[in-house]
A and B are shown apart, each in its own frame.
Chain A
Amino acid sequence: AQSVTQLGSHVSVSEGALVLLRCNYSSSVPPYLFWYVQYPNQGLQLLLKYTSAATLVKGINGFEAEFKKSETSFHLTKPSAHMSDAAEYFCAVSRNSGNTPLVFGKGTRLSVIA
């Protein structure tokens, strides 16, 4: 069974600083991995996804993530944080091949300090 672990329920960075949100996965088969962002009282928006093509995936809003099989990681980064990046971020993995839903991590709340 697939699962993801997000290290750190809350991350706080200064505006302009590097953003690093950690995600480790567990999967018995090659995984498909996703990062979603959720703003307060809203649904989820896809930031980026890894589907076994390039290991470095670029997403929207300047975010990117690198798939590292040896470390079973898919950390999300952004070179310079903006106030508007403050939100909840979820890492997710597809459960298995075929038409299946996503399994989400517990989420990491990102705060950006002016």
Chain B
Amino acid sequence: GAVVSQHPSWVICKSGTSVKIECRSLDFQATTMFWYRQFPKQSLMLMATSNEGSKATYEQGVEKDKFLINHASLTLSTLTVTSAHPEDSSFYICSAKVGARSTDTQYFGPGTRLTVL
């Protein structure tokens, strides 16, 4: 089946630094990629929707200047957490979708655990 990878799988950084997380669809071209955030023992909360070659659409309450999303190609999307703070510590998960229909399957990456000290 379709595989989505994320890199790094975990990262620890100091407060105030920026961290970049990569999301790649390995064996398919993704029309759309989504970025989610998951706090411990909670559900996934959508942060933004990313379409190749266009600006990401952010959910209400998500700071677009803090969480920079770049969707440079049909197989790569990046999330950069700028000036990270301890409250940004979370599990970040991306997903990729092949088609543009609601019924098309979203394939999820393994997630990236970010810890900000």
- Report B-chain residues with C-beta under 8 Å of the C-beta of A36: 108
Residue A77 lies at the interface, judged by CB distance under 8 Å to chain B: no
- Report B-chain residues with C-beta under 8 Å of the C-beta of A104: 43-44
CB distance from A65 to the nearest CB of B (A): 15
Of the listed residues A41, A43, A46, A99, the one surrounded by the most CB atoms of chain B closer than 10 A to its CB is: A43
Which interface class (under 10, 10 to 19, 20 to 34, 35 or more) fits B? 20 to 34
Residue A49 lies at the interface, judged by CB distance under 8 Å to chain B: yes
Please count how many residues in chain A sit with their CB below 8 Å of the partner chain's CB atoms.
25
Do A101 and B43 touch (CB < 8 A)? Answer: no
Do B110 and A43 touch (CB < 8 A)? Answer: yes
A90 with B44, Cβ < 8 A, contacts A36-B108, A99-B31 known: yes
CB distance from A89 to the nearest CB of B (A): 11
Considering only residues 13-50 of chain B, those with a C-beta below 8 Å from chain A are 31-32, 34, 42-44, 46, 49
A96 to B91, CA, bound (A): 26
Which single residue of chain A is at the shortest CB-CB distance from B48?
A101
Do B111 and A43 touch (CB < 8 A)? Answer: yes
Do B4 and A43 touch (CB < 8 A)? Answer: yes
* Interface, chain B (partner A; CB < 8 A): 4, 6, 31-32, 34, 42-44, 46, 49, 93, 95, 97, 100-103, 105-111, 113
